[in-house]
Amino acid sequence: MEEKEVQKFDVIVVGAGPSGVAAAITVARGGARVLLIERSSAAGTKNMIGGAVFLSAVKDLFPDCWQEAPYERFINSHTWSLLGDDTSVNISCDFPNENKSASIYRSKFDSWLVQKAKDEGVYFAPSTLVKHLVIKQDRVCGVKTEFEEIYADVVIIADGVNSLLAKETGLRHDYDPTDMVLSIKETHKLSREVVEERFNLKKGTQQGAARNFIGGLKLEEAPFALGFMYTYLDSISIGLGVNLNDLSALGLNPSDLLERLKEHPVVKPIIEGSEMLEYSAHLIPEGGYKKLPKLYDNGVILAGDAAGFVNGVHFEGTNFALMSGKYAGETALSAVKIKNFDKKTLKLYEKKLERSFILKDLKSYKDVIENLCKRKDSLMNYYPKKAAEFFRIFTGASCKPKRDEFRKFIADFIGQRKLRELFKDFWAFVSSVFGVLK
Partner 1 sequence: MSGEENKKSIEDKLTTIKYNCCREAHLKVNQELCKKCESRCCTYICPAKVYSYNENTNEIEVEYENCLECGACRIACPLNAIDWEYPKGDYGVIYKNS
**Min separation Cβ 44 and partner 1, Å:** 7
Report the distance separating Cα 372 and Cα 288, nearest Å: 14
User: Considering the rule CB under 8 A, would residue 106 count as an interface residue with partner 1?
Assistant: yes
HSE of 71, CA atoms in CB hemisphere, 13 A:
22
Strands 34-37 and 7-14, sheet pairing = parallel
User: Considering the rule CB under 8 A, would residue 73 count as an interface residue with partner 1?
Assistant: no
**Min separation Cβ 258 and partner 1, Å:** 9
User: Considering the rule CB under 8 A, would residue 423 count as an interface residue with partner 1?
Assistant: no
Binders of partner 1 among residues 154 to 193 (CB under 8 A) are 161-162, 164, 174-177, 180, 182, 184-187
**Min separation Cβ 369 and partner 1, Å:** 16
Report the distance separating Cα 202 and Cα 421, nearest Å: 44
Report the distance separating Cα 369 and Cα 53, nearest Å: 21
Q: Which residues does residue 7 pair with via DSSP β-bridges, in sequence order?
A: 150
Report the distance separating Cα 383 and Cα 333, nearest Å: 51
Q: Which is nearer to partner 1, 280 or 431 (CB)?
A: 280
Burial 69-93 (b: 16+ CB within 10 A, else e): bebbbbbbbbbebbbbeebbbeeee
Q: Which is nearer to partner 1, 205 or 255 (CB)?
A: 255
Lay out the site mask for partner 1 across 264-283 (x = CB under 8 A, - = otherwise).
------------xxxxxxxx
Binding segment for partner 1 (CB under 8 A), chosen from 111-119, 239-247, 291-299, 338-346, is 239-247
Q: Tell me if 216 sits within 8 A of 384, measured CB to CB.
A: yes
Q: Tell me if 25 sits within 8 A of 167, measured CB to CB.
A: no
Sign of the dihedral through C-alpha 391, 396, 398, 402: positive
Q: Which of 41, 97, 137, 398 binds partner 1 (CB under 8 A)?
A: 41
Q: Which amino acid is at 435?
A: G
User: Considering the rule CB under 8 A, would residue 312 count as an interface residue with partner 1?
Assistant: no
Q: Which of 6, 65, 91, 129 binds partner 1 (CB under 8 A)?
A: 129
User: Considering the rule CB under 8 A, would residue 414 count as an interface residue with partner 1?
Assistant: no
Q: Which amino acid is at 205?
A: T
User: Considering the rule CB under 8 A, would residue 251 count as an interface residue with partner 1?
Assistant: yes
Q: Which of 203, 256, 403, 419 binds partner 1 (CB under 8 A)?
A: 256
**Min separation Cβ 311 and partner 1, Å:** 20
User: Considering the rule CB under 8 A, would residue 231 count as an interface residue with partner 1?
Assistant: no
User: Considering the rule CB under 8 A, would residue 224 count as an interface residue with partner 1?
Assistant: no
Strands 300-302 and 149-157, sheet pairing = parallel
Q: Which is nearer to partner 1, 105 or 309 (CB)?
A: 105
**Min separation Cβ 98 and partner 1, Å:** 26
User: Considering the rule CB under 8 A, would residue 303 count as an interface residue with partner 1?
Assistant: no
**CA distances, 301 to each of 114, 276, 324, 343, 395 (Å):** 20, 39, 10, 9, 56
**Min separation Cβ 268 and partner 1, Å:** 16
Q: Which of 45, 99, 111, 431 binds partner 1 (CB under 8 A)?
A: 45
Q: Tell me if 329 sits within 8 A of 25, measured CB to CB.
A: yes
Q: Which residues contact 335 (CB under 8 A, 6 or more apart)?
A: 153, 154, 341, 345, 346, 348
User: Considering the rule CB under 8 A, would residue 69 count as an interface residue with partner 1?
Assistant: no
Count of residues touching partner 1 (by CB under 8 A): 52
User: Considering the rule CB under 8 A, would residue 127 count as an interface residue with partner 1?
Assistant: yes
Closest by Cα among 188, 211, 209, 186 to 197: 209
**Min separation Cβ 318 and partner 1, Å:** 14
Q: Which is nearer to partner 1, 45 or 334 (CB)?
A: 45
**Min separation Cβ 125 and partner 1, Å:** 9
**CA distances, 272 to each of 62, 136, 204, 209, 408 (Å):** 38, 58, 21, 17, 38
Residues that bind partner 1 (CB under 8 A): 39-42, 44-49, 105-107, 126-129, 145-146, 161-162, 164, 174-177, 180, 182, 184-187, 235, 244-245, 247-248, 251-256, 259, 276-283
